[in-house]
Amino acid sequence: MEYRYLGKTGLQLSVLSFGSWVTFHKQIDDNHADELMSFAYDNGVNFFDNAEVYALGESEKMMGRILKRKSWDRTSVVLSSKVYFGSRGKENKPNQTGLSRKHIMEACRESLQRLQVDYLDLFFCHRPDPNTPIGEIVWTMHNLIQHGKILYWGTSMWSAEEIMSAHKFAKEHNLIGPVVEQPEYNVFERTKVEQEYAPLYNDPGLGTTVWSPLAAGLLTGKYLNGIPEGSRLAMPGFEWLKERWVQEEKVRKVGALNDLAKQLNVSLPTMALAWCIKNPNVTTAILGATKREQLEENFKALEVVKVLNDEEMGKIEEILK
């Protein structure tokens, strides 16, 4: 496993990490989650990603139970959660979502309870909240760090301008600013990581924990001939995700990428993941998985990245045009 520094911090994350969105509680049970987390941990994964809204808190509870069961040294893992969407779904009342001081503080306390840990290593603002002053957000995150409840804080799907406004406020008031952004990044979704955040990698020094590196599974090739039963895009309630990804042009490009992968003697998911982590501004690509075999396959990306040279990257670029 390769470990990369998170932006300009001293924290190192495994370049492949593991997240629980959709899968925990909705697709897999405790034993299954145990198998996947153990496989990841035994293969060097040190970062596990979660959020208050995943399965409305049940995902954190499941991860908490597994962590308890495994008794891994707490200092060997990096745990995250995210605040914004709330954990009560349709029952969310005012102040149970967003980034007010009240919700950030209460969400953090509830995430710690569900995960059964004393602190989070990373705490993300899951989306920007235009209704809360940036100073209130920065002060609250800074206070959580001072209280030892979180170690670092970051953003997810914020614009570069929003991230910089947090930095500016933090700098002016001698507070700790955000050090990491969690954006989507895969061959179809590149603008934020490759262009918008480009000036931020050096100064202030942004790390990235990128999500959906396989475009929810599209980049495994499993949707080339329809929607297989039991797959994420066949799940009731995820029709929006199917509409987003299973589009003629995208599927055609995935077919061409699949042909290229075959020529290179690698699988499509390993090529797609290797493409992702070849970008040095990606600190870690967060994997999702419902089966151990998926993780076994996807980990081979660590080898594929070593052989994906400029010529092959050029061929991928040609297909994506």
What 3-state DSSP class applies to 194?
helix
Q: Which of 188, 211, 275, 299 binds ligand NDP (CB under 6 A)?
A: 211
Alpha-carbon distance of 15 to 174, in angstroms, equals 31
Contact yes or no for 122/155 (Cβ under 8 A): no
Alpha-carbon distance of 69 to 301, in angstroms, equals 29
Stretch that binds ligand NDP, among 16-24, 102-110, 242-250, 252-260 (CB under 6 A): 16-24
Rounded to the nearest 5°, which phi and psi values hold at 4? -120, 145
CA dihedral 138, 211, 97, 129 (to 10 degrees): 50
Q: Which of 141, 266, 287, 305 binds ligand NDP (CB under 6 A)?
A: 287
Stretch that binds ligand NDP, among 134-142, 143-151, 214-222, 309-317 (CB under 6 A): 214-222
Is 123 an interacting residue with respect to ligand NDP (CB under 6 A)? no
Is 215 an interacting residue with respect to ligand NDP (CB under 6 A)? yes
Contact yes or no for 51/126 (Cβ under 8 A): yes
Which lies closer to ligand NDP via its Cβ, residue 54 or residue 169? 54
Is 13 an interacting residue with respect to ligand NDP (CB under 6 A)? no
Neighbours of 14 (CB within 10 A): 22
> How many residues at the interface with ligand NDP, by CB under 6 A?
29
Which lies closer to ligand NDP via its Cβ, residue 86 or residue 288? 288
For 156, residues 6+ apart whose C-beta sits below 8 A from its C-beta are 82, 124, 125, 126, 127, 181, 182, 183
242-281 binders of ligand NDP (CB under 6 A): 269
Is 297 an interacting residue with respect to ligand NDP (CB under 6 A)? yes
Alpha-carbon distance of 134 to 31, in angstroms, equals 41
Among 41, 54, 152, 185, the one annotated catalytic = 54
CA dihedral 18, 22, 23, 24 (to 10 degrees): 90
Which lies closer to ligand NDP via its Cβ, residue 140 or residue 298? 298
Which lies closer to ligand NDP via its Cβ, residue 7 or residue 269? 269
Q: Which of 99, 254, 288, 301 binds ligand NDP (CB under 6 A)?
A: 288
Does the annotation mark 54 as catalytic?
yes
Give catalytic residue positions.
54
Binding site for ligand NDP (CB under 6 A): 19-21, 23, 27, 49, 156-157, 182, 211-217, 220, 222, 231-232, 269, 286-290, 294, 297-298
